Amino acid sequence: MLDDLNPDNKKFLSWPVVALIDFVTVIGFDDIIYNFQNQGLAVVTTWILMLFVFVIPYEMIVGHLGSVFSHDGGGMTTWVRHTSGDLWGYICAWTYWVSGLPYIVDVANSMVISFGWMIYGNASLSDKMSNAMFALLTAIIFTIFIFLQHRLRNSLQILSIIGGGAMFLMTVLYVIMTFAYLGHGGMPHTQPFNIKSFIPHVDMKYLGSFALIIFAMNGSEFAAPYVTEMKNGKRDFPKAMWMLAIMTGFLTVLGSFSLGIFFNAHHLPHDLKMNGSYYAFQTMGKEFGLGHFFLYAFAITQAIYMMAQLAVLLDAGTRMFLSDTAKKYLPRGLTKLDNRGLPINGYWLTTGICTLIMVASATLPNMNSIFNQLLNLNGIVSPYTTCFLFSSFILVRLHDKEYPSDFVYIKNNKLAIMVGIWCFAITFLFATLGIWPVDEKPGTATFYHVLALNIIEPLILLAIGAILPWIAKHQRQKSLS
């Protein structure tokens, strides 16, 4: 799927490959499960609403900015640095990078869960493994993937094509089998299955769960560093964003509807976020008399998909942080590149902070609470950081003559700015509401424990970001003395 070699023997990425690389960071079957547990069948309505008022504008904004800055490889950090200066570029780079670290932990956790299902064929891993062992295995996975990124050429592209393609096909299969089940007279497990089931019940839990909806749908800017590796990034990068938006809409709307057929949306398992994807394919196999065939097919797909996510997140996230951040704000060791041009020390810093997050969350009483808290933490830190993207778009459109683009999202500048402000406002609002622990009963000790972690962990990440410029300044002073 790579383009032909150019005269300089350079291989280019085609826009479908970029879309698949991006797809593994944006949406997966798990994202549908998480939000299905939070909202039930009403999430179908939520997905449709958010597709038009957030996803399409968001991904077209990414397409516009990617076209404007098609010769820069830093992604969103480049956009902020060019529009707001070096200091804000560093602040964006740090917050964007650290906001991805809880998700890296979550992905590594999910890999452990997938291996548990492949080995045991059920959800018994949480009963067999201590919190400490869960944290240790997560750290080991970080280390293995840093080695893979460092040693294996094209590992990111290969894993993304296989993992992203396979996950999309598994979801398509799930939807097809759902309609086949209904076509043969099968009854939905959700009862009553009527229009009322699709109407959201607006309360604090519903509003708090929107952060995870936005988190599930964002991440398309992770493909921005690869725009420089496309033959014609200005023209083709927006095509990748359209492909991504279509895949996202299909996966979320029809996937959630299908879950309502095989699950009773009014009485869901308490560990659905951690094991729901496997329950879904396990139930489908039983309904069609195929035993665990679908379960193991999904478990293998999930493992590869999570490997691809980890590869993209470690590579693209670290590149965004280090490749275009003003060097004066970073310690010299972090900007060091190996003989392949990879920021190896940045990978190790990633591992250290991820381990710190995992250890802090491991103080919760059980593996299910740990998994849910780390997952919901993403719904807080990630949307906050996405606000930088919308502020950059607003500034680009305010000074559109300074930032020409082959692809223009919304020709009318005033309307484009209003859309940018709208996306910024709802993202900031729902990120703030995401601090509310949606998986714990209000008033319990675990509720307050999770609430404290949701506040303390982001503050720790910001504090580390404030220390790095101080270290860099100390190094400069020492070298001058």
CA atoms of 461 and 423, how far apart (whole Å): 25
Residue 251 confidence (pLDDT):
82
Q: Tell me whether residue 6 is in a domain.
A: no
CA atoms of 447 and 443, how far apart (whole Å): 6
User: How many other CB atoms are there within 10 angstroms of residue 143's CB atom?
Assistant: 13
pLDDT exceeds cutoff 80 at 276: yes
Helix segments in 51-154, DSSP class H: 56-68, 76-84, 86-120, 125-128, 131-151
Q: Which of 402, 465, 475, 381 is nearest to 104 (CA)?
A: 381
Q: What is the pLDDT of residues 60-70, one digit of tens each?
A: 898 888 888 87
Q: Which domain holds residue 413?
A: 15-473
Which residue did the predictor score with more confidence, 15 or 281? 281
Q: Tell me whether residue 85 is in a domain.
A: yes
Q: Which of 113, 98, 133, 439 is nearest to 299 (CA)?
A: 113
Whether residue 135 contacts residue 358, with contact meaning beta carbons closer than 8 Å, is answered with yes
Whether residue 310 contacts residue 156, with contact meaning beta carbons closer than 8 Å, is answered with no
At 150, is the pLDDT very low, low, confident or very high (cuts 50, 70, 90)?
low
Which residue did the predictor score with more confidence, 164 or 189? 189
Q: Tell me whether residue 440 is in a domain.
A: yes
Q: Tell me whether residue 4 is in a domain.
A: no
Whether residue 63 contacts residue 237, with contact meaning beta carbons closer than 8 Å, is answered with yes
DSSP state of 218: -
Residue 323 confidence (pLDDT):
62
Residue 12 confidence (pLDDT):
75
Residue 4 confidence (pLDDT):
40
Tokens (6 digits) for 429: 């609002």
Q: Would you mind telling me the total number of residues written for the chain in this entry?
A: 481
Residue 24 confidence (pLDDT):
66
Whether residue 320 contacts residue 74, with contact meaning beta carbons closer than 8 Å, is answered with yes
Query: In sequence order, which residues have a C-beta less than 8 Å from that of residue 31 and are 6 or more positions away?
Result: 216, 252
Tokens (6 digits) for 445: 């000790």
Q: Which of 145-159, 245-259, 403-417 has the lowest mean pLDDT?
A: 145-159
The number of folded domains in the chain is 1
Which residue did the predictor score with more confidence, 2 or 206? 206
CA atoms of 468 and 463, how far apart (whole Å): 9
pLDDT exceeds cutoff 50 at 6: no
Whether residue 200 contacts residue 60, with contact meaning beta carbons closer than 8 Å, is answered with no
Return the exposure string of 66-78: e unless at least 16 CB atoms fall within 10 Å of the residue's CB, then b. Answer: bbbbbebbbbbbb
CA atoms of 330 and 475, how far apart (whole Å): 10
Q: Which of 44-48, 96-100, 158-162 has the lowest mean pLDDT?
A: 158-162
pLDDT exceeds cutoff 80 at 186: yes
Q: What is the torsion angle, in degrees rounded to the nearest 10, for the CA atoms of residue 210, residue 247, residue 106 and residue 147?
A: -150
Tokens (6 digits) for 110: 């999910």
Whether residue 364 contacts residue 126, with contact meaning beta carbons closer than 8 Å, is answered with no
CA atoms of 233 and 64, how far apart (whole Å): 11
Say what the pTM is: 0.79
Q: What is the pLDDT of residues 401-458, one digit of tens each?
A: 898 887 788 889 999 999 999 999 999 999 999 998 888 888 899 899 999 999 998 8
pLDDT (average), residues 90-103? 79
Instruction: For residue 417, give the CATH number of its domain.
Output: 1.20.1740.10
Q: Tell me whether residue 9 is in a domain.
A: no
At 223, is the pLDDT very low, low, confident or very high (cuts 50, 70, 90)?
confident
* 15-26 helix and 233-262 helix, angle to the nearest 10 degrees: 40
Q: Tell me whether residue 430 is in a domain.
A: yes
Q: Tell me whether residue 73 is in a domain.
A: yes
Whether residue 266 contacts residue 190, with contact meaning beta carbons closer than 8 Å, is answered with yes
Query: What sign does the CA torsion over 412, 417, 420, 422 have?
Result: negative
Q: Which of 14, 54, 84 is nearest to 248 (CA)?
A: 54
What is the phi-psi region of residue 130: left when phi exceeds 0, alpha when psi lies from -120 to 50, beta otherwise?
beta
Q: Tell me whether residue 1 is in a domain.
A: no
Query: Residue 451: in which H helix or E strand, if any?
Result: helix 445-480
Q: What is the pLDDT of residues 313-354, one digit of tens each?
A: 776 666 666 665 666 787 877 777 777 666 677 777 877 888
